[in-house]
Structure 1
């Protein structure tokens, strides 16, 4: 949308390992269309940028309404909000194909949205500060509860994360500020710690009170990480809206 990547490269980055992505409900189209055509059509409709939303129950992060759109985005736990025109896109994921050759297809539903500031999205500087605090707090609490993702499964996951980072993978599209990359990578690290603590058993938190304490400690950390992810992904549009750069 900013003209910094070709349509083909953009579609390839969006689709990734999925088989195909299509967009339905696009004004002027009676049937779902491929992403290359869809992105071009959105530009002609006035869209100059895209925001990500990562809502969760009780936390409509990145959404602006109306309620019908928010409900669908909450069901999907993700959505894209167009900047420059009042449209939003919600993905619906399908698995298709015979046993042994199953592939993923995604249909994005284009719906009207309210033109209003997205909910609860911090600035990059706010997100970076909050993440540093959350990382310290999570490490301290999980260490005290002995559930900080220890053992071979956790070590393997952390090693895999470090290997990806060391390969210098491109975590954001061209045009993002360096701070956005830092915030995104830190948010991913915090998210990894939360995942390890919640998915790899209870560690030393064997009592109900200890498990409740762990959950209470992790919920705000997970929320902070999601807010930071949205801040990083949306930073180009947010800076443009504020007249920066």
Structure 2
């Protein structure tokens, strides 16, 4: 089975290289198809490597990897941007996040994996000041909060996929010391200020208690959100409504 997997990954690598050449206007034929349908439901029965899964989650949360539309093919793709001697270029690696994890295990995509890892590492180590660490921490928290919303139909915070990604985010935060008691105290202080500010706004509005509210303020960052929102559109924190 491992030999069969390796043979298939080699074929997949040739397919990826051929497609990239075609997108650049080069003439390169893809390898002979091995699927009986255009889009197979899966292409690897083996579990992904944990280090690759971790890399994809980190790259996704830090926006090194992103979901966009290829303007030429009109297809949704997972891509990253790398610098070249003539500027920057987008590199498509997969059509879904699940496939991205598998593709980065392919030998032909090793340069992609190394470049994505380089960009992720650069973002994680460029946080010398407390402010930089806090910004990075909030970005990771915003991502995992958003994933909880996206996985709501699968159980939200109880889904296995959410728990796997949450573990990666927690380990990243701890490994790079992005969270501290001081930041927690700052959150508490800011939340207190937000409550006071909200109370003043309600008072200035003529005592809006008992009336229909049109907005709700985030207790973490103070951002003003629509009343029906459950998560802050600025920092991703869960909104707590005042009674």
TM range (shorter): under 0.3
Task: Give TM-score, length-normalised by structure 1.
Answer: 0.26
Task: Give TM-score, length-normalised by structure 2.
Answer: 0.26
Higher relative contact order (CA 8 A, sep 6+): 1
